[in-house]
Amino acid sequence: MHTQCSLRTSSFKQVDVFTAEPMRGNALAVVFDCEELDTAGMQRIAAWTNLSETTFVLPPTQAGADYRIRIFTPRSELQFAGHPSVGTAHALLEAERIQAKEHLVQECGAGLLPVRVVGEGAGRRIFVRAPKARFAAMNPAAAAAVLKALRAAAPAAVHEANIGLDWILCDLGNERAVRTLQPDMQALTALRATISAVGFAVFGRAEPARDYALAVRAFCPADGIPEDPVTGSANAAIGALLHSTGQLGAPGASYRASQGREVGRDGYVDVRVDAATGDVEIGGQCVTCVDGMLALPHD
Q: Are 15 and 288 in contact (CB under 8 A)?
A: yes
Average the pLDDT over 43-57 and give the result: 97
Give pairs for 151-158: CB < 8 Å, separation 24+. Answer: 151/181, 151/182, 151/183, 151/184, 152/177, 152/181, 152/202, 153/177, 156/202
Q: State the catalytic residue, choosing from 35, 53, 94, 262.
A: 53
Residue 22 neighbours by CB distance under 10 Å: 13
Strand-pair category, 286-295 with 134-137: unpaired
Instruction: Tell me the per-residue pLDDT of 213-255, one tens digit each, with 9 for 90 and over.
Output: 999 999 999 888 999 999 999 999 999 999 999 999 888 899 9
% of the chain with per-residue pLDDT over 90: 90
Q: Indicate where the chain has its CATH 3.10.310.10 domain(s).
A: 9-129+285-295, 134-278
Q: What are 168-181's pLDDT values in tens digits? A: 999 999 999 999 99
The pLDDT score that the predictor gives to residue 1 is 47
CATH superfamily, domain at 134-278: Diaminopimelate Epimerase; Chain A, domain 1 (3.10.310.10)
CB neighbour list of residue 142: distance below 8 Å, 6 or more residues apart:
158, 194, 195
Residue 5 has pLDDT above 60, yes or no: no
Cα distance between residue 235 and residue 258, in whole Å: 10
- By percentage, how much of the chain surpasses pLDDT 70? 98
pLDDT given for residue 210 in this prediction: 96
**The CATH number of domain 9-129+285-295, selected from 3.40.50.720, 3.40.47.10, 3.20.20.210, 3.10.310.10:** 3.10.310.10
Per-position DSSP letters for 34-55, written without gaps between them: -TT--HHHHHHHHHHH-SS-EE
- Indicate the pLDDT class of residue 6, thresholds 50, 70 and 90: low
The strand pairing partners of 129, in sequence order, are 281
pLDDT, tens digit, for every residue of 173-208?
A: 999 999 999 999 999 999 998 998 999 999 999 999
Q: Which is it for strands 125-129 and 111-118: parallel, antiparallel or unpaired? A: antiparallel
pLDDT value, residue 10: 95
The yes-or-no answer on residue 53 being catalytic is yes
What is the reported pLDDT for 177? 97
pLDDT in tens, 120-158: 988 999 999 999 999 998 999 999 999 999 999 888 999
Return mean pLDDT, the chain.
95
Q: Which pLDDT value is given to residue 122?
A: 86
Task: Give the pLDDT mean for 59-72.
Answer: 97
